[in-house]
Amino acid sequence: MSSIVARGIRAGYGEREVLRGVDLVVRAGELVALVGPNGAGKSTLLRVLAGLLGPSSGAVAIDGVDVAALDRRAVARHIAVVPQVFETLFPFTVREIAALGRTSRLGTFGTLGSDDARAVSRALDDIGAGDLADRRIDRISGGERQRAVLAMALAQEAGVLLLDEPTAHLDPAHQRATLERVVSLARVRGLAVVAVLHDLNLAAAFATRVVLLADGSVVRDGPPAHVITPELVARVFGPGLRVVAYDGRPFVIPEPPAAEPHARAV
Amino acid sequence: MRTITVFALLAVALVVSAAAGILVGAVAIAPGDVLSALLGANDTSGTIIRELRLPRVLGAALVGGALAAAGALLQGLLRNPLADPFVTGTSAGASLGAVIAVALGLEPLLVPLAAFVGAIGAIALVWRLARLGGRTTVLTVLLAGVVLTSFAGALVTLILVSSDRLALRLRAVLGWLQGGISVISWSELAVAAAVVAVGVVGALLLAPRIDAYAFGEETAAALGVDLDRTTAAVLATTALLTGAAVAIAGLVGFVGLVIPHALRFLLGATHRRLIVASVPAGAMALVLADLGARSALAPAELPVGVITGLVGAPFFLALLVRSRRVIV
Cα dihedral A31, A33, A34, A35 in deg (nearest 10)? 180
For A62, phi then psi, to 5°, come to -110, 120
Residue B207 lies in a domain: yes
Nearest chain B residue to A154, by CA: B223
Mean pLDDT of the residues in chain A: 91
pLDDT tens for A227-249 read 999 999 999 998 899 999 988 88
Grouping H, G, I as helix, E, B as strand and the rest as coil, residue B79 is coil
Residues of B with CB under 8 A from a CB of A: 79-81, 204-209, 211-212, 214-216, 218-227, 264-265, 268-270, 272, 323, 326
Instruction: Give the minimum alpha-carbon distance from B115 to chain A in angstroms, rounded to a whole number.
Output: 28
Nearest chain A residue to B324, by CA: A89
Q: What's the CATH number where A218 sits?
A: 3.40.50.300
Residue B39 lies in a domain: no
Task: From first to last of the 328 residues of chain B, give the pLDDT tens digit.
Answer: 788 999 999 999 999 999 999 888 777 788 888 888 888 777 777 888 888 889 999 999 999 999 999 999 999 998 888 899 999 999 999 999 988 888 888 887 888 899 999 999 999 999 988 887 666 678 888 889 999 999 998 998 888 777 766 554 655 566 666 777 766 788 889 989 999 999 999 999 999 999 999 998 899 999 999 999 999 999 999 999 999 999 888 888 889 999 999 999 899 999 999 999 999 999 999 999 999 988 888 777 788 888 888 988 888 888 778 766 554 4
B223: nearest CB among A85, A86, A103: A103
Residue A80 lies in a domain: yes
- Count the alpha carbons within 13 Å of B103 in the hemisphere toward its beta carbon: 17
CB-CB under 8 Å, B226 with A85: no
Q: What is the DSSP letter of B301?
A: -
Say what the pLDDT of residue A111 is.
Answer: 84
Say what the pLDDT of residue A2 is.
Answer: 85
Q: Is the pLDDT of residue A216 over 90?
A: yes
Residue A109 lies in a domain: no
Residue B35 lies in a domain: no
CB-CB under 8 Å, A83 with B218: yes
Say what the pLDDT of residue A243 is.
Answer: 92
Q: Among A48, A103, A135, A152, which would you mutate to test the B interface (most chain B Cβ atoms within 10 Å of its Cβ)? A: A103
**Within an 8 Å CB–CB cutoff, is residue A24 touching chain B?**
no
More confident of the two residues A170 and A5: A5
Residues 214 through 243 of chain A touching chain B, CB cutoff 8 Å: none
How many structural domains comprise chain B?
1
Grouping H, G, I as helix, E, B as strand and the rest as coil, residue B40 is coil
Say what the pLDDT of residue A123 is.
Answer: 95
Please return the burial class of B41, using the count of CB atoms within 10 Å of its CB with bins 0-12, 13-18 and 19+. Answer: middle
Say what the pLDDT of residue B328 is.
Answer: 44
Q: Residue A197: give the domain boundaries.
A: 4-86+159-264
CB-CB under 8 Å, A96 with B226: no
Q: What's the CATH number where B131 sits?
A: 1.10.3470.10
- Are A178 and A149 in contact by the 8 Å Cβ rule? The answer is no
- Are A221 and A207 in contact by the 8 Å Cβ rule? The answer is no
B214: nearest CB among A100, A104, A156: A100
Residues 40 through 69 of chain A touching chain B, CB cutoff 8 Å: 50, 52
A110: nearest CB among B205, B219, B221: B205
Work out the average pLDDT over A72-85. Answer: 91
Q: Residue B283: give the domain boundaries.
A: 54-326
B268: nearest CB among A93, A103, A105: A93
Task: Give the contacts of A65 (CB within 8 A, at least 6 positions apart).
Answer: none
Work out the average pLDDT over A12-41. Answer: 94
- The CA radius of gyration of chain A, in Å to the nearest whole number, is 20
Tell me whether 0.85 is exceeded by the ipTM: yes
Sort out which chain B residues have CB atoms less than 8 A from A72's CB and list them.
221, 224-227
Residue B29 lies in a domain: no
Of A184-188, A192-196, B84-88, B181-185, which gets the smallest average pLDDT?
A: B181-185
A52: nearest CB among B205, B221, B226: B221
- Are A76 and A156 in contact by the 8 Å Cβ rule? The answer is yes
Sort out which chain B residues have CB atoms less than 8 A from A77's CB and list them.
224
Sort out which chain B residues have CB atoms less than 8 A from A81's CB and list them.
219, 222
A96: nearest CB among B79, B207, B269: B269
Residue B5 lies in a domain: no
Say what the pLDDT of residue B169 is.
Answer: 60
Residue B42 lies in a domain: no
Residue A104 lies in a domain: no
How many structural domains comprise chain A?
1
Kindly report the pTM of this predicted structure: 0.91
pLDDT band at residue A219 under the 50/70/90 scheme: very high
